[in-house]
Amino acid sequence: MKFLKVLFLIAGLSFFTIACGSSGGGGGGDGSGDSTGGISYTGITTQAVITKSNSQEIVAGAYTGGNTGSAIIPGADVQAEEGDRITQSRILIIYRALENAAGKIDATSVGPVSGSIQKEEGQDDGECGGNLKYTISIDDETGDFNGIMNFNNYCSDNVTISGPARFSGRIDPASEEIRFLQLNFSFDNLNIMCSCNGGESVTLKGEISVDFNVPRVIMNMLLKDNIADKVYKFENYVITITEDTKGRYADIEVTGRYYDPDYGYVDISTPVPLRIYSGDDRPSSGEVVCTGASGTKAGLSVISNIEYEIHVDTDGDGTYDETLGPFKWTDL
Give the pLDDT confidence score for residue 107 in this predicted structure: 56
SS3 label, residue 42: coil
Give the pLDDT confidence score for residue 120 in this predicted structure: 85
Q: Mean of the pLDDT values across residues 72-76? A: 29
Give the pLDDT confidence score for residue 99 in this predicted structure: 67
What does the pLDDT look like over 160-219, one tens digit per residue? 999 999 989 888 877 766 677 888 989 999 998 877 656 778 899 999 888 888 888 888
| Phi, psi angles (nearest 5°) of residue 39 | -115, 135
Model confidence, pTM: 0.78
Of 223, 215, 183, 216, which is closest to residue 93 (Cα–Cα)?
A: 223
Of 26, 72, 306, which is closest to residue 196 (Cα–Cα)?
A: 72
SS3 label, residue 44: coil
Q: Select the more confidently predicted residue: 229 or 4.
A: 229
Return the domain boundaries, the chain.
Answer: 3-331
Please report, to the nearest 10 degrees, the dihedral formed by the alpha carbons of residues 168, 170, 175, 180 taken in order: -70
Give the chain's mean pLDDT: 77
Give the pLDDT confidence score for residue 63 in this predicted structure: 59
What does the pLDDT look like over 177-191, one tens digit per residue? 667 788 898 999 999
Q: Which residues make Cβ contacts (< 8 Å) with residue 328, sequence separation at least 6?
A: 306, 307
Percent of the chain with pLDDT over 70: 69
Give the pLDDT confidence score for residue 42 in this predicted structure: 94
Give the pLDDT confidence score for residue 11 in this predicted structure: 41
Give the pLDDT confidence score for residue 95 in this predicted structure: 63
What does the pLDDT look like over 20-72, one tens digit per residue? 444 443 344 444 455 545 788 999 999 999 999 888 877 766 655 555 443 33
SS3 label, residue 23: coil
Beta bridge partners, 264, equal 260
Local confidence band at 119 (pLDDT 50, 70, 90 cut-offs): confident
Are 148 and 137 in contact by the 8 Å Cβ rule? The answer is: no
- Sign, CA torsion 35/92/9/135: negative
- Sign, CA torsion 258/259/262/266: positive
Beta bridge partners, 290, equal 268, 298
